[in-house]
Amino acid sequence: MTASKIHSNIIFSQQIETELAKIIGSYPAGKVFLLTEEIPAKLCLPLIQSLIDQYNIRSVTIQGGENNKSIRSVEKVWEMLSKHGADRKSLLINIGGGMLTDLGGFAASTFKRGMAFVNIPTTLLSQVDASIGGKTGINFNGLKNEIGVFNEPDAVIINTNFLKTIDGDNFLSGYAEMLKHGLIKSPEHWDELMQYDLNNINYESLQEIIAHSVAVKEWHVLNDLTEKNIRKALNFGHTVGHAFESYALHEGRPILHGHAVVYGMIAELYLSAKKCGFSEQLLQSISVWMLQKYGKFEISKADYEALYELMTHDKKNEGNRINFTLIPTIGQVEINQDCPKELIFEALDLYRQLSI
């Protein structure tokens, strides 16, 4: 398959070495660096090992996992860059999942006030979401992505062959963001996602669906880079989802990002039904389908206050109110929606009482 581009810096290609060599060749010798995490280092780096050797690329490997998305990991990257003479005209290649590309983008954006970086996402979540759109960041004080900057990568290279290295739960985690894109984009894209056989993954046809999903995110990003307006549509499911994710981590019961977003979408579909007229029948059928695929993070009423408190820290909030993106119907969005605490607790009730 030949390389193709959705946008100027997003490259779909099965020829990973060829595309990366073009980028590396434009930088001075000794000014290209690599960041990866333990699993991609074992499974994915062999695909580009000849380039690493040819250009004598210095690298650093950090431990995977959301608990390592921290300032300590960033310091490790900065130390490697400083030790080997990186400067503003250098390049950092980030190879890994969404945690890694978020962290690597932040490290590159802040080292010497900014150096270039390229993302090579190796999970479905990072291919359709985390590595695209210019959001970088790390967790801080138990809050997800509390510290970060907006900064676009010079390029994102997407290769579906990397997805053969991830397990089923991580695949579903990425697919959750695609489901979100379907819900905010159109009934046609939603139907495409519903019809895809998750039990028998065809990586060739998946690339086309990924391209459609990436195009949804790209459109919103290009029209609102710093999330002042329509880009907030991409936050559907995330206000409640991030609260689930942070709470689960704090409780010592960590859940994958996409699973948290699914639980958040169920709650926010309820809010959409009550505030914007979303179909109650669709709410029920989508919620049951999601739980059948993603399982359930068990909560009790005693957890509501803690979850609500986490929602009050969401970066999208304005004017001391929790800010939701809701959908009146599939393919339509209403941003900047304010929901009272009682209604949010009703949404948590719906989620808690659902059974698979």
Q: Please determine, for residue 5, whether its predicted confidence score (pLDDT) is greater than 90.
A: no
Note the pLDDT of residue 313: 87
Model confidence band, residue 149 (pLDDT cutoffs 50, 70, 90)? very high
- pTM (predicted TM-score): 0.84
Distance CA 25, CA 29 (A): 9
CATH architecture designation of domain 4-166: 3-Layer(aba) Sandwich (3.40)
The number of angstroms, rounded, from the C-alpha of 155 to the middle of its chain's C-alpha atoms is 16
Q: Say if residue 324's pLDDT is above 60.
A: yes
CB 226 within 8 A of CB 134: no
**Mean pLDDT of the residues in the chain:** 92
pLDDT at position 119 is 95
Chain centroid to CA 197: how far? 22
Which pLDDT score is estimated for 252?
Answer: 93
pLDDT confidence of residue 7? 45
Distance of CA 158 to the CA centre of its chain: 14
Strand partners, 33: 58, 92
> What are φ and ψ of residue 145, in 5° steps?
55, 35
Confidence of residue 1 (pLDDT cuts 50, 70, 90): very low
Which is more confident, 106 or 160? 106
With tokens 């949804």, the residue in question is 216
pLDDT at 43: 84
334 forms beta bridges with 326
> Which of 82-91, 308-317, 347-356 comes out lowest in average pLDDT?
308-317
- Whole-number pLDDT of residue 2: 40
pLDDT on residue 70: 96
Q: What are the backbone dihedrals phi and psi of residue 37, each rounded to the nearest 5 degrees, phi first?
A: -120, 170
CATH number for the domain formed by residue range(s) 169-353: 1.20.1090.10
Rounded to whole angstroms, the Cα distance separating 72 from 138 reads 10
Q: Residue 336 is encoded by which pair of tokens?
A: 């900047």
Confidence of residue 298 (pLDDT cuts 50, 70, 90): very high
CA 147 to chain CA mean position, Å: 16
pLDDT of res. 4: 42
pLDDT reported for residue 316: 76
Tell me the pLDDT tens digit for each residue of 175-232: 999 999 999 999 999 999 999 999 999 988 898 899 999 999 989 988 887 878 899 9
Tell me which of 355 and 301 has the higher pLDDT: 301
3-state secondary structure the chain: CCCEEEECCEEECCCHHHHHHHHHCCCCCCCEEEEEEHHHHHHCHHHHHHHHHHCCCEEEEECCCHHHCCHHHHHHHHHHHHHCCCCCCCEEEEEECHHHHHHHHHHHHHHHHCCEEEEEECCHHHHHHHCCCCECCEEECCEEEEECCECCCCEEEECHHHHHHCCHHHHHHHHHHHHHHHHHHCHHHHHHHHHCCCCCCCHHHHHHHHHHHHHHHHHHHHHCCCCCCHHHHHHCCHHHHHHHHHHHHHCCCCCCHHHHHHHHHHHHHHHHHHHHCCCHHHHHHHHHHHHHHHCCCCCCHHHHHHHHHHHCCCCCCECCECEEEECCCCCCCEEEEECCHHHHHHHHHHHHHCCC
Lookup result for tokens 């503003």: 88
Q: Are 250 and 299 in contact (CB under 8 A)?
A: no
Q: How many CA atoms lie within 13 A of 43 on its CB side?
A: 16
Provide mean pLDDT across the span 254-268: 96
The Cα 142–Cα 119 span in angstroms is: 26
For residue 227, the model assigns a pLDDT of 79
Name the token pair of 224: 């609102």
Give bridge partners of residue 44 from the DSSP assignment.
none
What pLDDT is stored for residue 181 in this prediction? Answer: 97
- Please tell me if the domain spanning 4-166 has the same topology as the one spanning 169-353: no
Q: Taking residues 346-350, report their average pLDDT.
A: 98
Domain extents for the chain? 4-166, 169-353
Most distant CA atoms of the chain, gap in Å: 61
Report the share of the chain in percent with pLDDT over 90: 78
| pLDDT, tens digit (0-9, with 9 covering 90-100), for 65-119 | 888 999 999 999 999 999 999 999 999 999 999 899 999 999 999 999 999 999 9
3 — pLDDT class (breaks 50, 70, 90): very low
Residue 6 pLDDT > 70, yes or no? Answer: no
Mean pLDDT of 288-303: 97
Confidence of residue 154 (pLDDT cuts 50, 70, 90): very high
pLDDT at site 286: 98
